[in-house]
Amino acid sequence: MDMSKGDSILVLGAGGQIGTDLVHTLREMHGGSRVVAADLKPQSGSLSDGGPFLQLDVLDAQSVADCIRTHKVKEVYLLAALLSATAEQKMKSAWRLNMEGLFNLLDIAKELPGLRLFWPSSIAVFGPTTPRDLTPQFTVMEPSTVYGISKQAGERWCEYYHHKFGVDVRSLRYPGLISYKAQPGGGTTDYAVDIYHQALDKGEYTCFLREDTALPMMYMPDAIRATLELMAAPPERVKIRSSYNLAGISFTPAQIAAQIAQHVPGFSIRYAPDYRQEIADSWPNSIDDSRASEDWGWSCRYNLESMTTDMLKHLKAERQLA
């Protein structure tokens, strides 16, 4: 999107797993001062030092609207949400944050033509009755989690606001995301981040999912690139306004453990499935993202091997500096 002098980009929920990486990349692309990072919680480090940072609640619609006008915001990334595992524990507050936060932004965008909005959906929109392998873009969707229900409803509302009011809202159904810059925030796929940290720190890991639980996953650099490519696509190429399927890597805990063991000799894993197993069992094994490839040219770069090499390289470097 073309940005004139003085225009900026706003990332809401910037202190989380995706926001930390996204703000960093956007500031490298556009300059620190043009990317406003905002979160409910105060932040330190590059998020607050590398450009403007605001403590802001996405449920406070007036403050969000004021921020968008004051900073001449042309693009908003709405990342504030409660993820799958936390949402099962905090049902009502998850529904409120995940839905009201989105409505606030959709209503603001409705009044501000030219504002482009990114809102992430998830593989959690699918449920136990969905075909599990290479899950198609359009298929049965009967999510069985609080989080999945909120994401599915969110998708419907995004499409509705686009068709009825012309809101330029764009969305991806992210798989589980794996990154080294920030810890994940309460999802069912979090094990696939924690396992790398524990492998280096303790040489062993206890996994809360069964060894054969295949889930769709993606390395963060691919997820950030997908997000920015979707947001940069000409509007006519963004033909799906609910949310695009996005596929990366599909693997089980046993497969990621075997890959890590090639780099960390003696690494061992044991399994102690908890309530998150039921959530994982309701999600697909793998995703068909051919519509994202056809419509705006998406293709994934990292596989399990290249992701593991890169993750461990960065985590080891971090430990040497500490």
* Cβ atoms of 208 and 191 closer than 8 Å: yes
Nearer to ligand NAD, 3 or 197 (CB): 197
Q: Contact 227/243 with Cβ under 8 angstroms?
A: no
Catalytic pick from 77, 147, 161, 196? 147
Minimum CB distance to ligand NAD smaller for 125 or for 264: 125
Mind giving me the DSSP string for 35-98? EEEEESS---THHHHSS-EEE--TT-HHHHHHHHHHTTEEEEEE-----HHHHHHSHHHHHHHH
Q: How far is the CB of 262 from ligand NAD (least distance, A)?
A: 24
With CB cut-offs between 5 and 8 Å by kind, which of ligand NAD, ligand SER, none does residue 248 bind? none
Which residue in the shown chain puts its C-beta closest to ligand NAD? 16
We find the least distance from the C-beta atom of residue 94 to ligand NAD, in angstroms, to be 10
Choose the one of ligand NAD, ligand SER, none that binds residue 154, judging by a C-beta under 5 to 8 angstroms depending on kind: none
Contact partner at residue 251 from ligand SER, ligand NAD, none, CB < 5 to 8 Å by partner kind: none
Which of residues 249 and 264 has its CB atom nearest to ligand NAD in the complex?
A: 249
Q: Where are the alpha helices (DSSP H) in 145-298?
A: 146-165, 191-202, 220-232, 253-261, 276-281, 290-296
In the complex, the residues that contact ligand SER under the rule CB under 6 A are 83-84, 122-124, 147, 176, 187-189
Task: Judge contact between 178 and 220, C-beta under 8 A.
Answer: yes
- We find the least distance from the C-beta atom of residue 210 to ligand NAD, in angstroms, to be 19
User: Which of ligand SER, ligand NAD, none has residue 64 at its interface (CB below 5 to 8 Å by kind)?
Assistant: none
The entry of ligand SER, ligand NAD, none that residue 188 binds, CB within 5 to 8 Å by partner kind: ligand SER
Cα 50 to Cα 39: distance, rounded to the nearest angstrom: 15
Pairwise CA distance, residues 16 & 193, whole Å = 14
Q: Is 147 an annotated catalytic residue?
A: yes
Dmax (CA) for the chain in angstroms is: 58
Ramachandran bin of 31, using left for φ above 0, alpha for ψ from -120 to 50, beta for the remaining angles: left
Straight-line distance from the first to the last Cα atom of the chain, in angstroms, rounded to the nearest whole number: 39
Burial of 229 (0-12, 13-18, 19+ CB in 10 A): middle
Supply the minimum distance, in Å, between the C-beta of residue 252 and ligand SER: 15
Q: List residues near ligand NAD by CB under 6 A.
A: 12-13, 15-19, 39-41, 56-59, 79-81, 83, 97, 120, 122, 174, 176-177, 184-187, 189
Q: How far is the CB of 189 from ligand NAD (least distance, A)?
A: 5
Give the residue numbers annotated as catalytic, written as ranges.
Answer: 147
